[in-house]
Every structure is written in C-alpha cells, then in structure tokens.
Amino acid sequence: MQEIAGTRIAATTTWIAVSILLSSPSVADHELLERDLKDGQALYKEHCASCHGSNLEGQDNWRSPNSDGTLPAPPHDETGHTWHHDNQLLFDYTKLGGSRALAAIGVQDFNSGMPAFDDILSDDDVWNILAFIRSTWPERVQKIQASRNPPHQ
C-alpha cells in the first residue's frame, strides 16, 4: 500500500510540475519577455494608435466590414481578439501586414486592411509593441494568450 501511495504522490507532483511548466510565461511566452515596454508604448503611439486607438480601443464597428470588405481596426485591449492569437501570428501580421501573413498560412479570402511594417519597424520594435499591448491586459487574459504559444525549445 505504501508503494501505491508513493506512486500517487509522485504522479501528482509530476502533474503539478508539468502544469506549472506549460503555463509558465517563460516557456509559452518567451518572445515577449524582458522587452522594453516604454519603447513599445512609444512605438505603439507613433505607428498604431491612429488606427487602433490611443487607449487600444480600436475603431467603431470593428466587426462590420467597410464598403471595400476590410474590417475596421480591432481593439488591442481585452475586449478585442488580439489575445486570442499566438505571438508568432501577431508578429507576422504586424511585420508582413494582414494579407501577406494570412496568405502565408493559407488564408486567401480575407481582405485585411492591416499594412506591413517590415520596412518601418525592426523585429525588436514589433516585439516591444506586442509586449506593451500584452502588458495592458489583465493577468487572466495574459495567461490565456500565453497558453496559445508553443513552448520554448
């Protein structure tokens, strides 16, 4: 009986360790760790706020297509869908622009209004902006978004 109890304790301890490891931002959110949030905020204000709002609120009616089929800029606060996506997609969407990023993953029938910033922002700039955006979300939302990322290899 003692061996069974020891096995249960070991299994429980292992499960707890794995759960902590998999939910740890250092594993699942490594691209956004130790970023310059002040720089990200300044870059957001300079390059993103004109469409996505100075308070990350997005444009009005952001779920309803414009006459050209593009959607208005969505909010980047917790009310939007930014946190529903993994870090790499958010990076690619910003760096390459919506149409190129989606085409790269096989989505052809979405008319995105998101411009590319690959000639304007460095990779570190994009990561700093994304880290700033994430820093504004409640901890619960940050953890959900971090869980959408593959573990650091």
Please name each of the domains of the chain with its CATH number.
2-146 (1.10.760.10)
According to the model, what pLDDT value does residue 29 have? 65
According to the model, what pLDDT value does residue 26 have? 38
According to the model, what pLDDT value does residue 109 have? 84
Token pair 């994304």 in the structure block, residue: 130
According to the model, what pLDDT value does residue 111 have? 86
Orientation of helix 37-47 relative to helix 123-135, angle to 10°: 100
According to the model, what pLDDT value does residue 75 have? 97
| pTM across the whole model | 0.79
Q: What is the chain's pLDDT, residue by residue, as a tens digit (153 residues)?
A: 444 544 444 443 333 333 333 343 434 567 888 999 999 999 999 999 999 999 999 999 999 999 999 999 999 999 999 999 999 999 999 999 999 999 999 998 888 999 999 999 999 999 999 999 999 999 999 999 999 998 866
Task: Return all residues near 4 (Cβ < 8 A) that are at least 6 apart.
Answer: none
Q: How far apart are CA 18 and CA 70, in angstroms?
A: 42
According to the model, what pLDDT value does residue 153 have? 60
Q: How far is CA 49 from the centre of its chain?
A: 17
According to the model, what pLDDT value does residue 7 have? 45
According to the model, what pLDDT value does residue 6 have? 47
Task: Return all residues near 86 (Cβ < 8 A) that are at least 6 apart.
Answer: 145, 148, 149, 150
According to the model, what pLDDT value does residue 96 have? 96
